[in-house]
Structure 1
Amino acid sequence: HEGANYKNSFGYYTYSGTPPATADDIDTVHIIFPNASTTLYNHGNMQMGDKVKIGRFPAGTSIGFVLLQDAYKDGYFKTSGNKFYSDEQYNPEDLGLKRHNVLLNNVSQKTFLIGFEDIDRRPGRGSDQDFNDLVVYAQSNPVTAISPKDIPFLEENIPDRDGDDVPDDQDKYPDDEKRAYDRYYPSESVWGTLAFEDLWPNEGDYDLNDLVVSYRYKFAMSSTNGVVDLTTEFLPLAAGATMNNGFGLQLPVDPSAVSSVSGFDLSAGYIKLAPNGVESSQSKAVVIAFDNHRSVFGNTDGAINTLNSGPTINGKPITLSILFSTPLPDEFTATAPFNPFMISDLNRGREVHLVNRAPTSLADNSLFKRGADDSDPGTGRYYLTEQNRPFALDIYGPFQYPTERSPITNAYLNFAEWALSGGTKYKTWYDVTVDGNTDKSLLYNPR
């Protein structure tokens, strides 16, 4: 909607964390509508319902809007005139008149309405104070990406039992004011797969099936997009190992950021926990899902689920519930899959991580540069061979791993070239449906 005599322009700007101190400190204003006038007013070209996708933004990004007063003329727009911002601190009036837009939550349409006043609101400047000079709506995908906290409802009598400003029909937790939504990684319907070689720093048989774990993370989010708690779901799939291996996860937060951890399987006696359930003596929060894979496979001996001629042993699902002391910022979700690692043969210092993921405080750093390992901690290079081959993999979705003692370089024919290129070639080397990717006789087929 447009209710203005001016040919206004409309744009947006972004920032993370604290807003810019002044309007001059805004890095860039991106113009959405150079001429926001409609066909009904001022001979514009806009029609009700016209929309522009302004892009994808990292978690934690704040988006502000700006109206450029009467900035459009003869196919051009000027930036030297009056500007009115959704961040009212940048507007010229005294404190009680600084606001130049209203923001309403249109629950039924899952949109937010933004109405602007396009004239200085001080007495004698001509403002009619109707805030309808330009009315636009904003929507996001997912809908929960925009926090509705403290935004009034457009409609009346919207049910919200817990008072968190999220309508009950959109609230995953309608009776819990601390939680409103769930987010997932990799996604609600897709689990990732982690695969490890336990003979690091040596390559060993390099079948990368010594521990194979499927995983999914669920973040419980507040109405303001804070991370209240994290649920990690781990399903052990295989353990083609003669050794006994553990599995843990390092989070990019201080140990004190965690209030409690539950759900782990610890039976081997070498893991020491702090009172809140994280591992003690760590600089970052580390949670150990299990300390001996035998325990989560029913104490089965020998190689597990890596021989096509052998039985299938179902692993015990491990679900960790990690409650945070205070909600973490939205950006925390973007750091998934975090830093998962294997503990080799009950030796706490012998950690195997994904490529270029630093070890935890309890790792034995003297193992770097031994055997086949070509790590260089000084440059951030970790857990790679001279040929750039990893000792652990993170696959989006399911992964058909090699059979026992079948090197992954033989089972997946383009793996070595992918690794040597640093991931620039054969990016779908793991896709078994692509001709020429695999020697299928060397892949494990579950019964």
Structure 2
Amino acid sequence: MKRKSIFTLSLLLGTLAFTSCEKSVYDADKQPQKEKTVADLVVPTGFDWKMVKNAQCEITAQSASDVSVYSDQECTENAMLATLRTDNGSLTIPLSLPANSKEAYLQYETVNGKKMVLAATADKDNIVHFTLPQDSKPSSETRAETRNGGSGQISYPNSGWGTVMFEDQFPSLGDYDFNDFVLAYRVQIPFKSYGHKSVIDEAIQLGIELRAMGGSYPYAPYLRLKNLRAEDVEEIEVYQSFYTSVEEVNWFAGPDGEVIMDFRNLVAATSKPSGSSFFNTEKEYLAKDLPQLNIAIYLDDDDVDVNSADFESFDFYLAKADHGTEIHLGGYKPVYDTYPSDNSGLGKDYYYNNKGLIWGLSVPAPIAHVIEKGNFLDAYKDFAAWAMSGGQDKANWYNGEKNNELLIKTQ
């Protein structure tokens, strides 16, 4: 009986040992999979992560007419690139086209009151040419000072707000929730034309809204206007502000004489919600009122070419105090000599790593940002396909499938 009990126990132990041994066998299909993040994406060589690109638009007309330029054939409001009044002659203005598009559309009204649309494809120099037909309706207002040219307004991006988002652990890769700094921006540039030259009319209007600060390092946002010289600027004024005590913006001439705007005071004046570790990145501590500045950049010179203010000349970046480390969107050269001299892990062009990944992302729309430690790929389901295709697929990934549980929507 005793021997039988021992034998039974031996069988039990043997069974346990066998079961334990069976469980210890490695089966790749049964192992928990590591969550894929932006850091794991494999993108094509040379992919620049841009969603819009610079182009120019040349319009030739024989009379004064009111027209609009769009990035889509339906001429929807959120695709409007510029509104203007032509006159007898040609004018050239900058545009920001979708990165994977070469077409623009001009809408005008005929003398019979019918709205017509012209389509044109950018040439090898990325210039879109339009010739306004003679049946276009004359403008109800013609100013003498705009004869042989025209006037109008250019908007970046299109007719609404854009978004710039940063990771702040450069040159190391971060957690890629892209919420260490989130800014919204909008730019409106009035212009007038004389002959073949179009110049900025009085002032550039800039809107800035601070939407999130989820970083741990002492960075602040800056804006460099690469092609606008400080000597051509008379004054930069905050003419309207919301939910902030900031009443002025600090600005100075950069090392090449360009205009640089420092928004460190906006960061300093912005408090985190009580109990929160960050600003507007945790759903239980949402900021109800987001600080916003509306700024006018008044020009001292009435002969500043409007093409000096093309979209890509607006360089949003982060920097530490006293000309410290900078983090720019991919491809932008740092303002000061702060780029790491040891390029191990970095790519050939500025602010790309050796796998083509980035630290800053610019989106031509007012998109929701990801919550703290949220996975950007889970929040925006089409983002990975867009990036891995080099921007050819899912161009409007931010309007595609989303996980709203991981997103903090704009107000």
Q: Same fold (TM over 0.5)?
A: yes
The one-letter amino acid paired with 2:175 is D
Q: Deviations over 1:227-269 (max 9, x none)?
A: 132111111111112334321222232333333323399999x
Partner of 1:390: 358
Partner of 1:175: none
Cα distance change of structure 1 residues 368 and 279 upon mapping to structure 2, 3 Å threshold? farther
**Which structure has more strand as a fraction of its residues?**
2
Checking the alignment, whether the CA contact within 8 Å between 1:242 and 1:302 is kept in structure 2 is no
The alignment's TM-score, normalised by the length of structure 1, stands at: 0.53
The alignment's TM-score, normalised by the length of structure 2, stands at: 0.57
Q: Deviations over 1:377-428 (max 9, x none)?
A: xxxx221233322211111112122110123234334434533443234433
Checking the alignment, whether the CA contact within 8 Å between 2:146 and 2:192 is kept in structure 1 is no
Checking the alignment, whether the CA contact within 8 Å between 1:106 and 1:112 is kept in structure 2 is yes
1:309 aligns with 2:290: no
SS at match of 1:383: coil
| Distance (whole Å) between structure 1 residues aligned to residue 340 and residue 204 of structure 2 | 33
SS at match of 1:349: coil
Q: Deviations over 1:307-361 (max 9, x none)?
A: 11113242321223222333322323433462111224x463221111212221x
Query: RMSD between aligned alpha carbons?
Result: 4.3
1:248 aligns with 2:222: yes
The one-letter amino acid paired with 1:287 is I
SS at match of 2:408: coil
Checking the alignment, whether the CA contact within 8 Å between 1:389 and 1:419 is kept in structure 2 is no
1:352 aligns with 2:327: yes
**Which structure has more helix as a fraction of its residues?**
2
1:330 aligns with 2:309: no
Partner of 2:183: 213
| Distance (whole Å) between structure 1 residues aligned to residue 245 and residue 172 of structure 2 | 27
| Distance (whole Å) between structure 2 residues aligned to residue 111 and residue 204 of structure 1 | 49
The one-letter amino acid paired with 2:200 is V
Partner of 2:158: 187
1:294 aligns with 2:271: no
SS at match of 2:286: coil
Partner of 2:30: none
Among residues 135, 145, 167, which one is paired with 1:164 in the alignment? 145
Mapping 1:41-120, distance limit 5 Å: 59=56, 61=58, 105=64
| Distance (whole Å) between structure 1 residues aligned to residue 385 and residue 57 of structure 2 | 37
| Distance (whole Å) between structure 2 residues aligned to residue 164 and residue 429 of structure 1 | 44
Checking the alignment, whether the CA contact within 8 Å between 2:281 and 2:408 is kept in structure 1 is yes
Partner of 1:283: 256
1:226 aligns with 2:199: yes
| Distance (whole Å) between structure 1 residues aligned to residue 151 and residue 207 of structure 2 | 20
- Give structure 2 stretches of 5+ with no counterpart: 1-53, 67-84, 90-115, 119-128, 131-136
Partner of 1:374: 346
| Distance (whole Å) between structure 1 residues aligned to residue 257 and residue 393 of structure 2 | 34
Partner of 2:408: 444
The one-letter amino acid paired with 1:444 is I
| Distance (whole Å) between structure 2 residues aligned to residue 309 and residue 181 of structure 1 | 44
Q: Deviations over 1:87-110 (max 9, x none)?
A: xxxxxxxxxxxxxxxx55479xx7
| Distance (whole Å) between structure 2 residues aligned to residue 226 and residue 425 of structure 1 | 37
Checking the alignment, whether the CA contact within 8 Å between 1:255 and 1:283 is kept in structure 2 is no
The one-letter amino acid paired with 1:304 is F
The one-letter amino acid paired with 1:374 is L
Checking the alignment, whether the CA contact within 8 Å between 1:191 and 1:215 is kept in structure 2 is yes
Cα distance change of structure 1 residues 220 and 446 upon mapping to structure 2, 3 Å threshold? closer
| Distance (whole Å) between structure 2 residues aligned to residue 207 and residue 164 of structure 1 | 50
Checking the alignment, whether the CA contact within 8 Å between 2:161 and 2:366 is kept in structure 1 is yes
| Distance (whole Å) between structure 2 residues aligned to residue 424 and residue 441 of structure 1 | 27
Mapping 1:116-127, distance limit 5 Å: none
SS at match of 1:226: strand
Checking the alignment, whether the CA contact within 8 Å between 1:238 and 1:304 is kept in structure 2 is yes
Partner of 1:262: 237
SS at match of 1:251: strand
Cα distance change of structure 1 residues 314 and 287 upon mapping to structure 2, 3 Å threshold? farther
The one-letter amino acid paired with 1:294 is V
Checking the alignment, whether the CA contact within 8 Å between 2:225 and 2:309 is kept in structure 1 is no
Q: Deviations over 1:272-324 (max 9, x none)?
A: x9xxx742442141322411553342466731111111132423212232223
